[in-house]
Amino acid sequence: MELVLLADQPNVIDKVASWYFKQWGDNHPGESLASVRQTLTQFTQKTAPPILVLARDKHEFVGAAQLKVHDIAAFPEYEYWLSGIYVDIAYRNTQVMSLLIKAVLEKARELGIRRLYLKTGRLDGGHYRALGFKSLKTLSDKGRRILIMEARVVPVNINR
């Protein structure tokens, strides 16, 4: 399994847009495949969020995860987020999700980010808890309960 940045593989934007739209399009009325694709063009960064990490098995892309800024407008104090984690159905229940999360955590560390947040419908924290995320709060989002979690990241360069 290889992890690469979307910035190095911009030809994969259409595939990732398709994954995201099929997985979450119903949650965002008015969103289209084209609008998801347009948003993803912002994720072709290497040195500052938004950044998208891709998992590739041999020559096939099988997953994605994002390091982004301000995922929930109601919490402007929570700046950096792990988001958009998608794993192709054939690769679920493998290590792909863990590899993607660890890659985003490592990228955050490289960039001097000290805290990384995420939201999940798994109120027990699920797999994220095992990877170092701690529960912060639960809230209602579009009629369902979600958990906000935080990971403290130890930056490589403590002077940032």
pLDDT of residue 29: 73
Q: By residue range, what is the domain housing residue 50?
A: 2-113
Residue 120 falls within a domain, yes or no?
no
136, 153 Cβ separation under 8 angstroms: no
In a domain, 125, yes or no: no
Helix H or strand E segment including 138: strand 134-141
Work out the number of other CB atoms within 10 angstroms of the CB of residue 160: 10
Is 158 a member of any domain?
Answer: no
**15 found inside a domain:** yes
160 occurs within a structural domain: no
Instruction: List Cα–Cα distances, 7 to 68, 129, 151, 152, in angstroms.
Output: 14, 29, 25, 26
Helix (H, G, I), strand (E, B) or coil at 97: helix
- Residue 147 belongs to a domain: no
Q: Which of 71-75, 113-117, 141-145 has the highest mean pLDDT?
A: 113-117
Model confidence at 26, pLDDT cuts 50, 70, 90, reads low
Distance CA 7, CA 19 (A): 18
Would residue 140 count as lying in a domain? no
Average pLDDT of the segment spanning 105-114 = 94
CATH number at residue 84: 3.40.630.30
Percentage of residues in the chain with pLDDT exceeding 70? 94
| 8-state DSSP, 44 | B
Cα–Cα nearest to 54, from 128, 20, 104: 104
pLDDT digit string, tens, across residues 54-99: 999 999 999 999 999 998 888 889 999 999 999 999 999 899 999 9
Please state the domain count of the chain: 1
- Does residue 128 sit within a domain? no
**In whole numbers, what is the pLDDT of the chain averaged over residues?**
91
Q: How confident is the model at residue 24 (pLDDT cuts 50, 70, 90)?
A: confident
